[in-house]
Amino acid sequence: MGRESIEQYLYWMDEAFDGPDEHSLLNNLSSLHDRDWDSRPPGGQRKAWQIVNHIGAAKFLYADHAFAQGELTWETVDAATDFDRSPAAIIGWLRRGHDLLRSYIAALEDDSELLAERRANWGEMKETRWLVRVMIEHDLYHGGEINHLRSVLQGTDRWAHEG
């Protein structure tokens, strides 16, 4: 069996994380002003750095539980993020989580391993392809959330055609 599907998943992962279009996570993060990272939108509860911390933590958790020892918890991952909240620091950590998860997927022998069941961080067994798909969608979902948070904070929450 070949690796065509693995390569396709890796492509989708990279596009969702760092692709050139407006949907990618890092593209949406690049549109934040420094002051946006630690601000709450009116009526909101989460700050951009908290959302990014969640995204990165999920990458480390999924990698650990599906491909490694399975010892990390939300609490231990959060405790490991004891760094300053500067955009550079948190994006660097996020990138390390992405690269770790990606390295495990890239190391799969062939496409048959995408059907192998692996443990999710909450203990349930899922097909590898399901876990990878969820992480791709996770980047896109939270990239959109960051985009909306940014647009509210910067006063640009409207459609382009509405000028």
**Mind listing the pLDDT tens digit of every residue in the chain (163 residues)?**
899 999 999 999 999 999 999 999 999 999 999 999 999 999 999 999 999 999 999 999 999 999 999 999 998 887 666 667 789 989 999 999 999 999 999 999 999 999 999 999 999 999 999 999 999 999 999 999 999 999 999 999 887 787 6
pTM of the model: 0.93
For the domain 4-162, what is the CATH superfamily, name and number?
dinb family like domain (1.20.120.450)
12-19 CB contacts, 8 Å cutoff, 24+ apart = 12/136, 13/98, 13/101, 13/102, 13/105, 13/132, 13/135, 13/136, 13/139, 14/102, 16/136, 16/137, 16/139, 16/140, 16/143, 17/98, 17/139, 18/98
Residue ranges of domains in the chain: 4-162
